[in-house]
Amino acid sequence: MPLPRIFRSPVSLWIFWILLSLFYGLTVIAIEFEGIPVSNFKSFLITGLKWGVITGFTAALLFLLSANRYVFAITYPVLIGISAILCFYKLSIGVSFTPASLEMALNTDAAMWFSVITPLLILTFIAAMAIAIWTVHFRWHHVRTGRYTVWAGLMAAAIIILLPMFNRRFHETIFNRLPYALFFTTREYLNHRETIAEQRPAFDAVSCQASATPPDLFFVLGESLRADHLPQNGYPRNTLPHLSQDSALLSFPNIYTEHTHTGISVPHILTRADSTNRRPSYQEPSFVHLFQKAGYATAWFANQDISESYTYFAHECDTLIYCTLHSLYFYKKWLDRDMLPHLSAWLGQTDTDAPKLAILHTIGSHWWYKSHYPDSLAIFLPDIHNKDAVALSHEQIVNAYDNTIVATDDFLHRLFDLVKDRNAIVVYISDHGEPLGEDGLYHVHGNNSAPLHRPACMIWYSPRYAATFPNKVSNLKANRLNPARTDAIFHTVLDLGDLATPVIKPEMSLGYRIP
């Protein structure tokens, strides 16, 4: 059956390009925006404008691909095939294209691959390729190029592609989404691999021995939790309903962090970097290496994507478990308590004779807050309903933020219950705080707003730990209100783990007995 005349008549490259861009924008890019919470016309308009900007920049790339029919015949089916697969996984299981998901894909065994390749995925891929092949055929036989069309289009495309490189906000908005993410995420993953392969021999010749009764240590990296929103530190709301009744939990309200962005603060916390020497963050191993030397089994549980700045430390661990493969553009439920089955399984499978070090990197109180607490824990209402903070009241934002702390309470309470029968110590430190209207800022990291420098810090001990190390527990209680910097965390972890090593500076530990 011949094609309708409209599909057999010659078509200008300009018209073909516009239709091609609209098709990609209304399918792939629209799926990238799936689930964004908007509650009024203004927010809907702003989201629509963002879609339009990304579609416009994608149009530049599509013009470069379609200007030459040979290039288009090779590249367009590849682009559509990969985009279809990634969109399928985003819609079906919420997996985004990140360095973590790419690492998982490249290191997954055949059995896992077969479990995620479903009949619906195969049908989706076949349909996408049929559309791509038909489009290539149409471009080959029915699209004409004018004398100046290609040159004009190439110049416009070059300008549009280069512009985001000089504007950070444009760069993040555009290049973290399809189709540009195919290149930039892959490049980030390769940078991660280079970082992981670095040689950091600082502790190779250092001795490190575990005690005769080595405790299991669970190190929780919090996210954006500020100290002044905990009831133990004087906050009038009971944001920790379970932990406020737990006498084994100690809160340290006077911890200061110099760094207010996750990518910088986490390496500082994990290493012996301090305020006068930051080089260990980028040149030395973390305390994980010392625990391994002492015979510990080590694991990193990631509930957010791993940044290049601390991917080395995550891969130091014997085991790395990605508990989520979401990107920060994911707006459905994304909960820290979902990490605990992974931790429980690891504890059950790991050598029972080896002491354990587990690092749990949480999503905590990261914006978008509503994703990080279940509806059953939405204690403070009204909470947020719109992604744009300008469309929300101060009360709604603070309520939602406090609900994330209630979810952290639930997560930590479950964690403590899981390890209460062990000789165990749990150290919690948030990477930084969060602005909640101070200086007119909300959920913005990396600036000098005072609350960002005051992260929450808590330490919990099991009954067996208290019986085994009574002096450490009494010292922690005595030092609870003392001011300290996050420089102390590295030495505190080694001290509470009772490791004997010349690396530790006991006087810097939160558990040090002050004469």
CATH numbers and ranges of domains, the chain: 5-196 (no CATH), 218-368+395-508 (3.40.720.10)
Summarised one tens digit per residue, pLDDT across range 437-486 is 998 889 888 788 899 999 999 999 999 999 999 999 999 999 999 999 99
Over residues 74-98, mean pLDDT: 92
Contact criterion met (CB below 8 Å) for 244 and 458: no
Residue (of 61, 55, 76) closest to 139 by Cα position: 76
Strands 424-430 and 319-322: unpaired
Contact criterion met (CB below 8 Å) for 455 and 434: no
CA distance 73 to 77: 7
β partners of residue 484:
255
Interior CA angle at 462 toward 460 and 466, to 5°? 95
Q: Which residues are CB-contacts of 427 (< 8 A; sequence separation ≥ 6)?
A: 217, 218, 219, 220, 459, 489, 492, 493, 496
Half-sphere exposure of 115 (CA within 13 A, CB side): 7
Summarised one tens digit per residue, pLDDT across range 186-197 is 999 999 999 999
Over residues 55-73, mean pLDDT: 89
At 199, the pLDDT band (50, 70, 90 cuts) reads: very high
DSSP 427-464: EEEES----BSGGG-BS--SS--GGGG-B-EEEEE-HH
Residue 31's pLDDT is 93
Residue 327's pLDDT is 84
Residue 337's pLDDT is 98
Q: Which residues are CB-contacts of 117 (< 8 A; sequence separation ≥ 6)?
A: none
Q: Is the pLDDT of residue 171 over 80?
A: no
Q: Is the pLDDT of residue 107 over 80?
A: no
Residue % of the chain over a pLDDT of 70? 92
Residue that wins the pLDDT comparison between 126 and 46:
126
Over residues 321-348, mean pLDDT: 93
CA distances from 200 to 197, 265, 287, 299 (A): 9, 19, 13, 19
Residue 397's pLDDT is 96
Interior CA angle at 240 toward 314 and 233, to 5°? 90
Residue 162's pLDDT is 66
CA distance 250 to 233: 10
Q: Is the pLDDT of residue 4 over 60?
A: no
Report cis status (omega within 30 of 0) of the bond before 368: yes
CA distance 16 to 340: 51
Q: Can you tell me which residue has the tokens 């962005």?
A: 261
Q: Is 414 strand, coil or helix?
A: helix
Residue that wins the pLDDT comparison between 61 and 303:
303
Residue 145's pLDDT is 79
Over residues 115-134, mean pLDDT: 92
Residue 110's pLDDT is 56
Summarised one tens digit per residue, pLDDT across range 272-306 is 999 889 999 999 999 999 999 999 999 999 999 99
CA distance 74 to 140: 12
At 5, the pLDDT band (50, 70, 90 cuts) reads: low
CA distance 128 to 515: 71
Over residues 490-507, mean pLDDT: 96
At 16, the pLDDT band (50, 70, 90 cuts) reads: very high
At 165, the pLDDT band (50, 70, 90 cuts) reads: low
β partners of residue 298:
357
Helices 394-419 + 340-349 axis angle, to 10:
20
Residue 515's pLDDT is 57
User: SS in 3 state form for 370-406?
Assistant: HHHCCHHHCCCCCCCCCCCHHHCCHHHHHHHHHHHHH
How confident is the prediction for the chain on average, in pLDDT? 90
Q: Is the pLDDT of residue 383 over 60?
A: yes
Summarised one tens digit per residue, pLDDT across range 336-356 is 999 999 999 999 987 778 999
Strands 457-461 and 424-430: antiparallel
Q: Is the pLDDT of residue 17 over 70?
A: yes
Over residues 143-163, mean pLDDT: 70
What are φ and ψ of residue 407, in 5° steps?
Answer: -70, -35
- Report DSSP state, residue 305: P
Report residue 442 CA to chain centroid gap.
19
Residue 63's pLDDT is 87
CA distance 455 to 434: 8
List the structure tokens of 439. Answer: 């200086």
Q: Can you tell me which residue has the tokens 């004779």?
A: 353
Over residues 198-216, mean pLDDT: 95
Over residues 491-510, mean pLDDT: 96
